[in-house]
Amino acid sequence: MEPIQFLKKLINENGNSDTLKEHLEILSAQLSRIENKVQDLETENAELKKRLNEQKNRTESFASNQHHSSHCGHCGSALLKKTESSDSPSFSEAGIKDTTYQCSACGEKVAF
C-alpha cells in the first residue's frame, strides 16, 4: 500500500492523536526504508550504467581491432585467405562476425 493511502486509512479508522502519533512513526520508518532502498537502487543503477559503458567501449575496440589483426596467430604470416564468416556468438548484437582464415604459409586456420 502506498504510504499516503496507508496514512489516510489509519486516520479514518483510528481518529485519536496517540494512535495517529504511533502510526506516523511507523510510516516514518517505512519512508526511511524506502529512501534507503531508492539510494541502493540508484547506486546499483549507476554501477550498471558504468559497466554497460565499459562493455560498449570494449566492443567498439574489439570491432576496430578486427580490421587490423590480420596475421596468423601460429606463424605470424600476413598471408591469410578468408574461408568463412559467421555471426559472433558473443557480439552478434553489435553486428560483429567471426571470420575464419587459412594461413597460406603454415596452413593453420585462424578466426577473428
- Shortest Å, Cβ 72 to Zn ion: 3
87: CB partners within 8 A, 6+ apart: 96, 97, 98
Residue (78 or 94) nearer to Zn ion, CB: 78
In angstroms, how far is CA 12 from the centroid of its own chain?
46
Count of residues that bind Zn ion according to CB under 5 A: 8
Would you give the binding string for Zn ion spanning residues 47-76, x where CB under 5 A is met?
-------------------------x-xx-
**Binding segment toward Zn ion, per CB under 5 A, in 18-26, 51-59, 87-95, 104-112:** 104-112
CB neighbours (10 Å) of residue 101?
20
Examine residue 77 and tell whether it contacts Zn ion (CB under 5 A).
Answer: yes
**CA dist list (Å): 53 to 46, 58, 65, 70:** 11, 9, 18, 27
> Which residue type occupies 33?
R
Examine residue 103 and tell whether it contacts Zn ion (CB under 5 A).
Answer: yes
Joined together, the cell numbers standing for residue 89 give 556468438
Q: Which residues bind Zn ion (CB under 5 A)?
A: 72, 74-75, 77, 103, 105-106, 108
